[in-house]
Amino acid sequence: MNKKPTHPGKAFKQDVMPSFGLSVTEMAKLLGISRKQLSLFINERASLSPDMAIRIAEVTGTSAESWMWMQIRLSLWEKAQRKTTIYKEKPIAVNSKMTRDLLEKLEDLYDIQAADEAYAAYLSDPETISSDELKKKLEI
């Protein structure tokens, strides 16, 4: 996408507002928003919100999605223009034996399944296990 997409506020100002023949103040009133909010939008100083897209769609008989797609295309284009560098660290090479040994040690240290079962048993019938036994099993 090389060419900058049109801001939905610009499209609204140039294509929609003239057909209504209303001033910014009158159009804002029709949309149920403040004049300042509409002014920021049509002068490309504010992005289109989902709320505004729905309001425009209701007034114009168009879809909110079509207005939101205009904003999404513009937002993606603007983000692409800012050269963001994504740094990826190289993964640490770990052989499968090291991984297996590490996982076994973690399982020994944190017997998660046993802790989950003990807690579930305690919740279903607190009389079956004392809170001290539960804490011990959960290693609190």
- What confidence tens digit (pLDDT) does each residue in 70-97 have? 999 999 999 888 877 666 666 655 566 6
User: What is the tens place of the pLDDT at every residue in 8-45?
Assistant: 999 999 999 999 999 999 999 999 999 999 999 999 99
Residues present in the chain in total: 140
Q: Do 16 and 62 lie in a common domain?
A: yes
Query: E strand or H helix at 100, and its extent?
Result: helix 96-109
Q: How many domains is the chain partitioned into structurally? A: 2
Nearest to 123 by CA among 114, 112, 134: 134
- Using alpha carbons, select from 16, 44, 43 the residue that is nearest to residue 30: 16
For residue 137, which of 126, 124, 117 has the smallest C-alpha distance? 117
Q: Is 60 part of a structural domain of the chain?
A: yes
Q: Answer yes or no: pTM beyond 0.75.
A: no
Are 76 and 106 in the same domain? Answer: no
34-67 exposure pattern, b = at least 16 Cβ within 10 A, e = fewer: eeeebbebbeeebebeeebbebbbeebeeebeeb
Asked if residue 100 and residue 77 are part of one domain, the reply reads no
- Residue 40's domain spans which residues? 8-81
Where does the pLDDT of residue 105 fall: very low under 50, low under 70, confident under 90, or very high at 90 and above?
A: low
